[in-house]
Structure 1
Amino acid sequence: MKVIASSLRKGNVVEKDGKLYVILFAENIHPGKGTPVTQLDMRRISDGVKVSERYRTTEQVERAYVEEREHTFLYRDGEGFHFMNPESYDQVAVSESVVGEMAPYLTEGMAVQVSQYNGIAISLVLPQRATFEVVETEPVTKGQTASSSYKPATLSNGVRTLVPPHISAGTRVVVMTADGAYVERAKD
């Protein structure tokens, strides 16, 4: 189905020259002078090659029909990451190349959107936020107002992020799954 380039988002699948590409990053650029364009960073599904394309925002692009369903993350092994469809209990294995940098944010039982094309998982979308425990951080230095208001911390998933000074080791925090940025202290 043809759609305008400006409507494409991360995780969408497009068909170009008979090959399927999953969009890793989509940005609409509106220069002061000239035509607005949509910059797309894509990964070819067949071999994993990354490609960068630029389209006019009104240009028509062929979007592939992809089945998107909610799945629950089960576990990770040598085959990849295993997800289960909660309605049919079918399991699907997703390769490491598809999961990519989202791997540290996957937790057992997490609900994610898995996109499949002809029965093969080609992309997944995590919830925007996830909760992790701070395992290591610097102690609070009282009266330290001249320095920045955030300090480095290591989360239970191994990701390093910046947290406010009042957060200590053992505290559960909510972070953005897109970049690992601190959102708030967990309310649980």
Structure 2
Amino acid sequence: MKINAGEIRVGMLLEYRNDLWQVLKTQHVKPGKGGAFAQVEMKSVNKNTKLNERFRSNETIEKASLEETNFTYSYEDQEKYYFMNPKTFEQTEIQKNLIGEKGKLLTENLGVTISFYNDNPISVDLPNQVTSKIETTDAALKGQTVSSSYKPAILENGLSIQVPPFIEAGDSVVIDTRNMEYIKKI
């Protein structure tokens, strides 16, 4: 699907120069002289390289068409995570490096959305919020300022996050999977 350069947004996947690119940053520039353009920073999905490109406003770019399918997380081994399609019971395996640190938030039967491009998995989207238990946390210091006095905590899955002073070891908390931040205590 062709889109105008002015419609490019962060997170989009574009087909450009015979490769698939994910948009990292975009800035619309209208200089005093000459036509407006979009300055776009992209990262290659396949080669892991970056590219800064300038597109004129009247140019069109091919937006990649992705097929999104819902899966549930099953299990993991040394190199891969395994997901099952709840409708067809087909299994899909995905390399751990594609998911990264967020893979530690996966729990059995957690519903995820996997995006496919030409039948190859491109990304795995976790739910926006997941629940996890605090394994260890530092003691809260008395007399610290009330505003933004967070302390480090380690979750049961090994991830380290910042939590408010009233959170103790053993508490269950909700975490935002997009930015890996504490949301609330349960």
> TM (normalized to structure 1)?
0.81
Equivalent residue, structure 1, for 2:177: 177
Deviation track 1:45-103 (CA, whole Å, cap 9, x = no partner) reads 2xx42323344484422122221111111111135111111111111111123212322
Q: CA RMSD in A?
A: 2.6
Equivalent residue, structure 2, for 1:51: 50
Equivalent residue, structure 1, for 2:4: 4
- Identical residues among aligned pairs (%): 33
Structure 2: runs of 5+ lacking an equivalent: none
Equivalent residue, structure 2, for 1:19: 19
Contact 1:26 1:38 in 2 (8 A): no
1:22-171 pair list within 5 angstroms: 23=22, 26-29=24-27, 35=36, 37=38, 39-45=40-46, 48-56=47-55, 58=57, 59-145=59-145, 149-171=149-171
**Take 2:56 and 2:91, find their aligned partners in 1: how far apart are those partners?**
38
Check 1:72–1:55 CA distance in 2 against 1; reply closer, same or farther (3 A cut).
Answer: farther
Contact 2:19 2:44 in 1 (8 A): no
Deviation track 1:161-188 (CA, whole Å, cap 9, x = no partner) reads 11111100000111111221111112xx
Q: How many residues align?
A: 181
Deviation track 1:124-158 (CA, whole Å, cap 9, x = no partner) reads 21222211111110123444447952111111121
- Mark the structure with the bigger radius of gyration: 2
